[in-house]
A and B are shown apart, each in its own frame.
Chain A
Amino acid sequence: MKAAGRLDDLREAYVRNHPESCARHERAQAWMPGGNTRSVLHFDPFPLVIASGRADMLTDVDGYEYIDCAGEFSAGLYGHSDPVIVAALHEVLDNGLVLSGPNTAESELAELLCRRFPSLERLRFCNSGTEANLFALLTAIDATGRKRVLVFEDAYHGGVLTFAGGGSPMNVPFDFVTASFNDIESARASVKRHEDDLAAILVEPLLGAAGNIPAEAAFLAMLREEATRCGAVLIFDEVKTSRLGRAGLQGHYGIVPDMTTLGKNISARACPLAHSAARGP
């Protein structure tokens, strides 16, 4: 009772103290469903609208300052507006953007990443982690001539690849089967059951959105072994986990997938950038 009353007080204070965020949210609702375009950033009664950020501090439109512990949901490795990154962006803008030809930096970045991650022999760039995962899955489906994809309960691989609470109506209509993360025997049984149709196993080596649950080394080793045995493509989603080691978690575990998807951290959220990368046959 007491706690609920306190909560109401806090909510009221929040509304009272953030009139500009409130007004902007109301305006946004006229043009965007729910007034936002990235559901994870929304909370009731309205989210803070952020005006600016510098290093590890954020300022909202009502003038309040916050220490940023969200770090752009793991992507913001260097905080906001790191001078080295800002200078590089300025240089790009000064030289002109989207010039309808390969640019001067892409192959250098590709080399750097390939040298770093053991599974990367060659890679393609795209614009988001979601997109990287879609390309990886479509590539696996095409390469194997099979359709089914094994994913894990509670995994998040993008807005259209969400597997918490039994999936999402917004998921891409691929032929998914789910198994439980870190459960070696049941996951092995799933692979066996579907092996003739299995195009890919998509796994995040640390279940990020479900609360940063690290994979057991033996679980990943089993997936590696089973994928090799049945000819499915093992895809590590290292969109988030690439930040956890020089060579991401694959380097930590010493387990090399057939394809790796990257995003978030490698662009450190200066501008969108993501990769599907693959090992040759």
Chain B
Amino acid sequence: MSAILHRKTDTVPPAVAQADGLWVTDSDGRRYLDAVSGGAAVSAIGHRDERVRDAILRQFDAVSYAHGSFFTSEPAEELAAYLVGKAPAGLSKVVFCSGGSEAVETALKLARQYWVERGEPGRGKIIARRQSYHGATLGALSVGGNLPRRALYEPLLFEAELIAPCYAYRERREDETERDYGLRAAAELEDAILRLGPETVAAFIAEPVVVGATLGCAPAVDGYLSEVRAICDRYGVLLILDEIMCGSGRTGYRFAFEEDGVVPDIVTVAKGLGGGFVPMGATLVHDRIADAIAAGSGALAHGFTYMGHALACAAALAVQRAVDEDGLVAAAAASGTALRRMLEASLGQHRHVGDIRGRGLFIGIELVADRETKAPFDPAAKLHAVVKASAMENGLMIYPSGGTIDGRAGDHILLAPALNAREDELAEIVARLGRSLDAALETLK
């Protein structure tokens, strides 16, 4: 019996007991190879790290917590300076929180406050994308485009304008280049802004690489984000990029958007920021937002109890330093290439693998019933759930999801191993994945 209201009321998942590197052990002694960094692209430097442990203990002996309305702290200041130092020029201030959803709430509230400070209180609408996920809290869910996740809560949500995601595998026509497709997809943003009236739109929020949970790492195609940036600039709309899952080095860039050559007005990070050692999130803001607030009310209208938690900041700082000391951003690029090559070799011609995509160590595999027509499996078969169970059987942690195409049909598998995964571990992931997938497909026959 468990006193926890678990995700499935009729099952208690295995209890995790111990973990080291990419290996997780449950309380029955079963070992799992972790191909998704703790389950959701979190444990970016693997499980356990002496440097992080030391930093946590040191901070614990000094001070763990004091509320931000009384004190700042050395680790919080240092971490903020560290993040800003790694960000492109212009992104100069940080607001901390404890996770991804909170970082998104912070971003939305900052965008709104910016327009009020600027004397344009009419700007309150948010444009987001279908099939996106920005978090579980009501504000983040309101701008999330994954309809099944929203449906239950619909009466509690505010209305956001949803446009198409950048999803080349299904949306690019065969007579159009990726770039032309990207421009066409981005044009939906302009249409939406004009439909709503630019003077009512506060911000556009998107992920540079669409989240695993909902679209299986469909990356922005070449030219898409720079066109989005240009459209936002044309109408004065703020650009919020959600890098909670794809950021912190995972794509082989410190910030995924660097590959696209754009600088957003607001960025959210979490997950890999604290590397799973502590709950941690952050919202980075551009000068123009910080300056507008300073020049206006001079006060942040938003706050959490755990905003700049000293112990959490010390841990996250140690994680980020470890990422740089160990050269893990470059490693993610190289390992991402290696993993992609192995996946192509082992699954590229698989009759039920429609697409292998993503960036760096953030990879999605879309499963299809028929490669030729790209027809998905019957959603009732819940292939993604069968694959997950089969992988756990085979001692492999992966992150499969359903509803890839429209929230209802489609299945994909997300892989996001720790940035310091070794080549032999990547090979083992691919081997176990192949076995798990085939075993899962066998049960559907």
* Chain A residues within CB distance 8 Å of chain B: 118-119, 217, 221, 246-247, 250-251, 253-256
Contact = CB atoms under 8 A, between A and B. Distances in A.
A247 to B, nearest CB: 4
Contact of B177 (A119, A246, A247, A255): A255
B204 interface: no
Interface residues of B, number: 10
6 contacts: A118-B175, A119-B175, A221-B177, A246-B174, A253-B177, A254-B172
B372 A254 contact: no
A217 B174 contact: no
Interface of B: 172-178, 180-181, 372
B350 to A, nearest CB: 16
A247 B373 CA distance: 12
A119 B176 CA distance: 11
Nearest to A119: B175
A256 B372 CA distance: 20
Contact of A118 (B174, B178, B181, B372): B174
A247 B174 contact: yes
Contacts of B177: 217, 221, 253-255
Contacts of B180: 254
Contact of B176 (A217, A246, A254): A254
Q: Main SS of chain B's interface residues?
A: loop
Contacts of B175: 118-119, 251, 254, 256
Contacts of A251: 174-175
A74 to B, nearest CB: 15
Given A254-B172, A254-B173, A217 B178 contact: yes
The 3 closest A-B pairs by CB, nearest first: A251-B174, A118-B175, A254-B177
Contacts of B172: 254
Contacts of B176: 254
A246 B178 contact: no
A246 B173 contact: no
A63 B298 CA distance: 89
A254 B182 CA distance: 12
Contacts of B181: 254
Nearest to A221: B177
A119 B175 CA distance: 8
B164 to A, nearest CB: 17
Contacts of A253: 177
B171 to A, nearest CB: 12
A255 B178 CA distance: 10
A136 to B, nearest CB: 19
Contacts of A119: 175
A251 B174 CA distance: 4
Between B177, B178, B180, B181, the greatest number of chain A beta carbons within 10 A of the residue's beta carbon is seen for B177
Contacts of B372: 246
Contacts of B174: 118, 246-247, 250-251, 254
Contacts of A217: 177-178
A118 B173 CA distance: 9
A253 B178 CA distance: 7
A181 to B, nearest CB: 19
A250 to B, nearest CB: 7
A256 B177 CA distance: 9
A280 to B, nearest CB: 14
B341 to A, nearest CB: 15
Contacts of A246: 174, 372
A117 B150 CA distance: 39
A243 B101 CA distance: 45
Contacts of A255: 177
Contacts of A221: 177
B176 to A, nearest CB: 5
A224 B181 CA distance: 17
Between B174, B175, B176, B178, the greatest number of chain A beta carbons within 10 A of the residue's beta carbon is seen for B174
A262 B178 CA distance: 24
Nearest to A224: B177
Nearest to B371: A246
A255 B173 CA distance: 10
A256 B178 CA distance: 13
A48 B372 CA distance: 37
A258 to B, nearest CB: 13
A153 B175 CA distance: 27
B39 to A, nearest CB: 34
A221 B176 CA distance: 11
A273 B173 CA distance: 28
A227 B209 CA distance: 35
Nearest to B222: A217
A110 B181 CA distance: 28
Contacts of B173: 118, 254
Nearest to A247: B174
Given A251-B174, A254-B172, A254-B177, 10 more contacts: A118-B173, A118-B175, A119-B175, A217-B177, A246-B372, A253-B177, A254-B176, A254-B180, A254-B181, A256-B175
